[in-house]
Amino acid sequence: MNDIDVLVIGAGNAAANAALAAHEGGARRVAMLESAPENARGGNSAFTGGAFRFVYESVDDLPQ
């Protein structure tokens, strides 16, 4: 734990995005600390099956 640059609390979608952003921003050692037992990790994000709602203005914002 002493060598960690960024510690993210939780391991759901928000935490995963924060961890990825920290790594892309230059943090070399990013850790995620999840309070749930391993078989219940991922919080409510695990219920989505990987399909997340997100905000967009028009179809032009969507990947082609």
Ligand X SMILES: Cc1cc2nc3c(=O)[nH]c(=O)nc-3n(C[C@H](O)[C@H](O)[C@H](O)COP(=O)(O)OP(=O)(O)OC[C@H]3O[C@@H](n4cnc5c(N)ncnc54)[C@H](O)[C@@H]3O)c2cc1C
Q: Which residues bind ligand X (CB under 6 A)?
A: 9-15, 33-36, 42-45, 47-48, 51-53
- The residue (of 18 and 27) whose beta carbon lies closer to ligand X is 18
End-to-end CA separation in angstroms for the chain: 41
Reported as type and span, the H/E element at residue 7 is strand 6-9
- The residue (of 21 and 48) whose beta carbon lies closer to ligand X is 48
> Which residue's Cβ lies closest to ligand X?
12
- The residue (of 20 and 33) whose beta carbon lies closer to ligand X is 33
CB atoms under 10 Å from CB of 7, counted, come to 14
